[in-house]
Structure 1
């Protein structure tokens, strides 16, 4: 019986066969993969929802056409704002926008719960108007602080974002003051402050609509200016 050594087998294998692993490694064609887009249209959804919700709420705050009750906007607060803002920016890794949109979505959901009788928020105060309005003032003032953080964080982005958060900051601040004015028994001042807050929220909503159009149209029709400010806030590298 013939005996073959391991060396003989290896030499015959290398002489008469092809190394399949090496062939696959060295001869497989490289197919270029296009980089994914930033999903500008997807970003436009939470911005559009933000603009829609805030604009309609601002009309009530300004008492246009005699509307002073906000309960009809609960549909926007719970469904459009709460569900239309949360997942989109996370999918493209935009941490700042995800934080902002999620925060405002949760804010609207909470505000909608306050307005919904089934949650019993107003009823829990047993007709104590002063305490109820002071509590609403505290609720709004905390979100005013949060909006201030967003305003500062938006400085390295663009002028459109800065205008939005600046107007939201002033709007929330005035609405907070209006609740405190009601609690202190100053109804005329409260209405004036509320209308002023509504005006700033209205401007923020209109600016949000501009940003929505800019995001939707930039890859198809026209690229609207946003006023880039990032060049003024370049991070300094450690020496």
Structure 2
């Protein structure tokens, strides 16, 4: 019995020595707090009051929308510029427009809504919805263009008819989208230069397409085709800017040792931020006094 007790005592002493020799456990942080500048660069929206709690735990969905945007707009812009004999004004890209443009942007819009990022949610949701509507118009089963043809059943002829161009394409949809891009461009001045230039390019795209289809509807083929190519060039610029912004965000998310410039426009709004900070301080002081 004495030998057993001594052996057990030795085992306990050796186990305690091993525990003492082991390094103490350290707590690994599961969330990351971003600075206001990093938040604006990653989410393309200013951190007006405080950082949303979910942004410290969930991934950033914004690059997903940028990826869907550039994959769709780049080939479409080449088509509008008629590179390598491309034609059809986007009919051949119905699949990518739906599943790469519309779907990815809509998913990102929902995720931005969950994170509480209102501006990216509205931007990605409306542009994604536009891609769905644009593609649906060209799908024969939706019967959007066929009634404008002579036989009332030919979608291709309906898309090229003057009535369709003057009614759906230029007079309503593209002009409305141009107004929306103008609003987005003004709001984007709160973030950075690259994001603002993307909306400026898209504004030119919709204005040129509106003029193009109006001229084509009136029989001015030469002017109309030039406007279509100009819209393609503006869309190509927007896609290049989108690629650049996508690279910036991916580098930022992976914590690369360098940062690419985006032209931060927060300097224009420092005075406004200072006023908001003063209001927050005054409110906190009032609450503390109570």
TM range (shorter): 0.7 to 0.9
In the alignment, which residue of structure 1 is the partner of 2:263?
Answer: 227
Deviating runs (4+, > 4 A) in structure 1?
236-239
Q: 2:163 aligns to what?
A: 131
Equivalent residues of 2:30, 2:57 under 8 A apart: no
Aligned CA distance change for structure 1 residues 37 and 206 (closer, same or farther; 3 Å)? farther
- Does 2:82 match 1:63? yes
Q: Give the corresponding residue for 1:196.
A: 230
Q: Judging changes above 3 Å, is the alpha-carbon distance between structure 1 residues 231 and 38 closer, same or farther for their aligned structure 2 residues? A: farther
Where relative contact order (Cα < 8 A, 6+ residues apart) is larger, the structure is: 1
Larger mean Cα displacement after TM superposition, 68-77 or 84-93: 84-93
C-alpha spacing 1:32/1:118, structure 2 compared with 1 (3 Å): closer
Look up the SS of the partner of 1:170 in the other structure. helix
Greater shift, 196-205 or 111-120, is seen at 111-120
> Which of the residues 77, 82, 87 maps onto 2:102?
82
3-state SS of 2:264 partner: coil
Equivalent residues in 2 for 1:91-170, closer than 5 Å:
91-127=114-150, 129-135=161-167, 136-137=169-170, 138-170=172-204
The alpha-carbon deviation at position 97 of structure 1 amounts to 0.8
How many residues in Structure 1 have an aligned counterpart in Structure 2? 209
What runs of 5+ residues in structure 2 fail to find an aligned partner? 1-27, 33-55, 151-157, 283-290
Does structure 2 retain, via aligned residues, the 8 Å contact 1:158–1:226?
A: yes
Deviations, residues 151-200 of structure 1 (Å, cap 9, x unaligned): 11101110010110011101111011100001111001000000001100
After superposition, the C-alpha distances for 1:82-110 in whole angstroms (9 at most, x for unaligned) are 22012232232211111101111000000
* Residue aligning to 2:51: none
Other-structure match for 1:48: 67
- TM-score for both structures, normalised by structure 1: 0.81
Deviations 1:36-64 (A, max 9, x none): 16734x31110111111111111111111
TM-score by length of 2: 0.67
Which digits, 9 at most, give the CA deviation of each residue in 1:66-125, with x for residues without a partner? 111122211122111222012232232211111101111000000001111121111021
Matched, 1:34 2:31: yes
Q: Tell me the equivalent position of 1:213.
A: 247
After superposition, the Cα gap between the structure-2 partners of 1:216 and 1:33, relative to the gap in structure 1 and judged at 3 Å, is: closer
